[in-house]
Chains A and B, each alone.
Chain A
Amino acid sequence: MLRFFASRLLQSLLALLVIITATFFMLRFVPGGPFTAEKAVTPEILRNLEAHYGLDKPLWHQYFDYLGSLAKGDFGPSFKYPNRTVNEILGDKLPVSIELGALSLLVALLIGLPLGILAAVRRNTWVDYWGSTLGMMGISIPTFVVGPLLVLAFAIHAGWFNASGWYTISDRVLPCLVLGIAYAAPIGRLTRGGMLEVLNQDFIRTARAKGATELRVVFKHSLRGGLLPVVSFLGPAIAGILTGSFVIETIFQIPGLGREFVNSAFNRDYTLVLGTVILYAGLIMALNLAADLAQAWMNPKVRLEG
């Protein structure tokens, strides 16, 4: 188990280094720089600016400087927001995105798991058919269609919510619902599939033969095995929710990391782009690792093969 964890951790760190390096050099080789958009910068000022941020040093020198400060947890200064460090900006935006993501995941699980279990237990009844069709609709209708439509119906026409913003509790409802529904659908389908596979096995028949109630069969005996596919999907799901929040943050004008990332890329704010990419990549890989571990813990077969 420990070896499994260590090898995965090492692999993730290596991948992170690759990402940092690739992004760093890609940023430097694309046309345009952080100061080209500003109008009429004299060559002298440009030189001063570049010297101030260390952009006049050789590229490899900058690269190792950056890695050095990164090792100390310093993402460097922002090029576009004078007097602000990338750490401060990320510190402002990250909690918003995490709140959005966590609430959405909660919505997805609260809708997807019960529906999936119900569909599996009542297989081939109308519950199952309607559940599956709804699930397919949830997968097919993209968030950027559902989002504006819900805003149109519940914010503009009904007037129950604000159309945009991130101030009060009620501002959380629509964005988290939209993002949550999108992931409730695959979670429901995976739950149904996983539960069906387990419910057909011999030990479930044994449990029933011993007189266990249906509730006990479902929750005590089947759930652990039946939820395995869901657990292995959680890593990708969280990654999807994080990137999916780009669209949600745009629709509802939420001051989160996603919008900041797209803006920083347009602005060629090298350090902010790098910082955001590293944060996203690190977060996604950490969560993938956690999902792998949870899966190994739940399923001895995976644990032993490592």
Chain B
Amino acid sequence: MSTLVAPSAPVPPAPAAALERGNSLWHDAWLRLRKNRLAVFGAVTLIVVSLACFLGPFFSPYGYEDQNLDLGASAPSAQHWLGTDTLGRDLLVRLLYGGRVSLGVGLAATVVALTIGVVYGAVAGYFGGKLDAAMMRIVDIMYSLPFTIFVILLMVFFGRNIILLFVAIGAVEWLTMARIVRGQVMSVKRMEFIEAARSLGFGKRRLIFRHILPNVLGPIIVYTTLTIPGVMLLEAFLSFLGLGVQPPMSSWGVLIKDGAEKMEEFHWLLIFPGTVFSLTLFSLNFLGDGLRDALDVRSSKD
């Protein structure tokens, strides 16, 4: 089992010290990541897309629900760079607003999944024994449940509320994170610096959160990066079925659904949102993969 800890740097030192050393784990990882062209491409694309989504709408003369029924659906032009939909709404602005929603849901639900998964996995891994066996059995059972079906039921019954949406998605996605964190914690907790910290009389909470978790940060970062596209996919999946974000709000899933319905006459309504969404997922996956190589995280899941 490989861990991320160089023997010389067990407990995370003060940030200043880490910078001075220059050859820290993180610095090496950064150098390795920079050499990975696809990962760099992914990172740059993500930055561009996020900036465009969060800043772009401020520079547009159109709002996301401004209709222009006289114009109707029009192909890309100088006034409307990506064209308009059947209600004459500017597609570019709707795409950018949709990106805010999709990226926002992706981040928020990932934070939910991250929090549950890390705490659950750390507790199971640290205490081990019967508690661990019971907790992991629960995860095993939940893995075998058809969760997508439950999320669909929840969305149908409780009115497609966006907060419920990301809580529901986050509650599904924490399982893998819990397994990974548990495995890492189990291997780190046997190391000498933990023994040393324990012999200094530190409490369990301090041991877990201050000494063990910082040393399993690598895998956590990698799988967080890989969880975001999964979450965004689930949101778009629900929106595509008409169960996620509701009009006139837009999300990439909603735009793809609308585009697919009207693609016969107005193909740009499908092609632009589909491309942007796929490109974003592609970038996230490549960045995650690059991080995994750079941080030398073994791909084993348990």
Residues of A whose CB lies within 8 Å of any CB of B are: 11-12, 15, 19, 23, 26, 30-31, 133, 136-137, 139-142, 144-145, 147-149, 151-152, 156, 193, 235-236, 239, 242-243, 246-247, 250-251, 261-262, 265-266, 273, 277, 280-281, 284-285, 288
Decide if B285 is an interface residue (CB 8 Å cutoff).
Answer: yes
Q: In the assembly, what is the distance between CA of A284 and CA of B150, in Å?
A: 14
Complex partner residue of B144 from A30, A133, A288, CB under 8 angstroms: A288
List residues of chain B with CB within 8 A of the CB of A30. Answer: 157-158
* A142 and B281 form a contact (CB under 8 A): yes
Interchain CB contact (< 8 A) of A243 among B146, B156, B299: B146
User: Known: A144-B236, A149-B270, A281-B146. Is A262-B278 also a contact (CB below 8 A)?
Assistant: no
Give A156's nearest chain B residue, CB to CB.
B264
Q: Mark B253-296, 1 if CB is under 8 A from A, else 0.
A: 10011011001100100110010011001101110010000000
> A280 contacts which of B149, B240, B271 (Cβ < 8 Å)?
B149
- The distance from the CB of A175 to the nearest CB of chain B, in whole angstroms, is 14
- Residues of A contacting B257 with CB < 8 Å? 144
List 24 A-B residue pairs with CB atoms under 8 Å apart, sorted by A's residue number.
Answer: A136-B286, A136-B289, A139-B285, A141-B282, A142-B277, A142-B281, A144-B236, A144-B256, A144-B260, A145-B256, A148-B260, A148-B263, A148-B274, A149-B271, A151-B263, A235-B144, A239-B146, A261-B149, A261-B152, A262-B152, A265-B153, A281-B145, A284-B145, A288-B144
With both chains docked as a complex, state the minimum distance between the C-beta of A213 and any C-beta of chain B, in angstroms: 30
**A242: chain B residues within 8 A (beta carbon):** 146
* B11 interface residue (CB < 8 Å to A): no
- A155 → B minimal CB distance (Å): 10
Instruction: Return the chain B residue nearest A143 by Cβ.
Output: B237
Q: How far is the CB of A123 from chain B (nearest CB, A)?
A: 15
> What is the CA–CA distance of A92 and B253 in the complex, to the nearest angstrom?
30
A217 → chain B, closest Cβ, in Å? 24
**Contact at B241–A247, with CB atoms within 8 Å?**
yes
- Chain A proximity of B4: nearest CB distance (Å): 20
B52 at the interface (CB under 8 A from A): no
Residues of B within 8 A of A133 (CB): 38
Q: How far is the CA of A243 from the CA of B141 in the complex (A)?
A: 18
B121 adjacent to chain A (CB < 8 Å): no
Q: Tell yes or no: B229 within 8 A of A by CB.
A: yes
Query: Of B149, B260, B278, which is in contact with the most chain A CB atoms at under 10 Å from its CB?
Result: B149
Residues of A contacting B233 with CB < 8 Å?
142
A12 proximity list for chain B (CB < 8 A): 144
B148 within 8 A of A: yes
Contact across chains for B146 and A15 when beta carbons are under 8 A apart: no
Q: Verify B146–A140 contact, CB threshold 8 A.
A: no
Alpha-carbon gap, A236 to B175, bound state (A): 13
Q: A19-B145, A145-B277 are in contact. Are A265 and B157 (CB under 8 A)?
A: yes
Which residue on chain A has the smallest CB distance to residue B236? Answer: A142
For the complex formed, measure the closest distance between the CB of A37 and the CB atoms of chain B, giving whole angstroms: 13
Decide: A140 and B263 in contact? CB cutoff 8 A: no
In the assembly, what is the distance between CA of A251 and CA of B152, in Å?
17
The minimal Cβ–Cβ distance linking A141 to chain B, given in whole angstroms, is 4
Asked if A15 contacts B141 (CB within 8 A), the reply is yes
In the bound complex, residues from chain A placing their C-beta under 8 Å from that of B277 are 142, 145
CA distance A79 to B157 in the complex (A): 17
How many Å lie between the Cα of A262 and that of B243 in the bound state? Answer: 10
The interface residues of chain A lying within 8 Å CB-to-CB of B141 are: 11, 15
- Out of A19, A137, A251, A273, which one reaches B282, CB within 8 Å? A137
B window 30-52: CB within 8 A of A: 38
Chain A residues within 8 Å of B241, by CB:
246-247, 250, 262
Contacts of A235 in B (CB 8 A): 144
Given contact pairs A140-B229, A141-B278, a sample of 17 additional A-B residue pairs in the complex whose CB atoms are under 8 Å apart: A19-B146, A26-B153, A136-B282, A137-B278, A137-B282, A144-B260, A145-B270, A147-B260, A148-B270, A149-B274, A156-B263, A235-B144, A242-B146, A247-B240, A262-B243, A281-B145, A281-B149
Contact between B145 and A280, CB atoms less than 8 A apart: no
